[in-house]
Amino acid sequence: MQENEFNNDYLTGRERIVRAGDLELWAEDFGNPEHPTVLLVMGAQAQGIQWNDGIVRRLVDGDRRVIRYDHRDTGRSSTVDFAAHPYTVADMASDALTVLDVCGAQRAHLVGASLGGVIAQRLAVTHPHRVLTLTSLSSQPLGTDMAAAVQRVLEGAPPHPSELPPPKPELLAALASSFPKPGAFLDEYLAARLPLWRVLHGPVLPFHEGEYRAMEQQVYERARDLQAALNHMFAGASDTSATADLAAVTTPTLVLHGTEDPMFPPAHAEATAAAIPGACLVMIEGMGHTLPTTLNDRLADEILHHTGRA
């Protein structure tokens, strides 16, 4: 299903440009504005439209207002000269709050995937009055130093006993060749990206290449600058949060994670749930580090059930 291909007014996205200081952030709003708001926060280097339309549709059908948006340096949002104006995860969290402000949502259910989960966790720590519920999806605990674990893998050293498991070696190899040279044509871009999605998807669920090809073509066509998204790696590495901060979270929390996640193996989900008082951990059998359309209903239903309890 293509962007905005819905059947009625509430299921048609209302696009807007959100001003956040000198930045422009693209956002899209679905559903009845009177319904509880769900803010979908994507991961590093990912655009808001990578929250599948099927998930959005199911949430709206469940009487939720849904907002998805492009982070700075992705999609139709502003790009940043990172060397001149470096930013952090805290700044990206501030962007999320600005999106809510401009959309008129004083409080929201936060659903964050991968780095988006870390951003959502941070907001639950720093702005609990804005967060109705927290859903951390395919993510890791706030304050995890993944760069150190990855460096050990690249050096051939064994993981440190105190560290959470690093990404799978086959994923690191796929990541190394996943970004083509600047100015690459669409075919070159897809040739570089599809092998990465195959690894991220995991070995259990059927891999439908056409689904990922269509998604990446949309990403390619929407981006102001595809290379700018790499700045998210530097922003993530500069985060000064600590996992211990999660002990202060009182927001009802759901940790959703795939059993086959090659980026953040299941121990990351277990650590996140253990760090947040009262968090509920739900493992999705066979899911990797992607949002395949075959899981749209399952993921949306878990979010609806969790947000409905608030």
Residue 291 is given by DSSP the state: -
Alpha-carbon gap, residue 131 to 120, rounded angstroms: 9
Q: Among 232, 268, 289, 306, which one carries the catalytic annotation? A: 289
For residue 208, indicate whether it is catalytic: no
- The number of beta carbons lying within 10 Å of the beta carbon of residue 250 is 11
For residue 261, indicate whether it is catalytic: yes
Q: Among 138, 201, 261, 268, which one carries the catalytic annotation? A: 261
Q: What is the distance in angstroms between the CA of the first residue and the CA of the last residue of the chain?
A: 31
Burial class (CB in 10 A: 0-12, 13-18, 19+), 22: exposed
Gyration radius of the chain's alpha carbons: 18
Q: What's the maximum distance between 2 C-alpha atoms anywhere in the chain? A: 55
Q: Among 77, 114, 136, 241, which one carries the catalytic annotation? A: 114
Pairing of strands 280-284, 253-258: parallel
Q: Please report which helix (H) or strand (E) contains residue 195, including its range.
A: helix 186-201
Alpha-carbon gap, residue 204 to 25, rounded angstroms: 36
Burial class (CB in 10 A: 0-12, 13-18, 19+), 220: middle
Contacts 24+ apart (CB under 8 A), 55-59: 55/291, 55/296, 55/299, 55/300, 56/30, 57/6, 57/11, 58/296, 58/297, 58/300, 58/301, 58/304, 59/31, 59/300, 59/303, 59/304
Helices and strands of the chain, counted as H and E runs: 10, 8
Which tokens hold the place of 182? Answer: 């600047």
For residue 73, indicate whether it is catalytic: no
Catalytic site residues?
A: 114, 261, 289
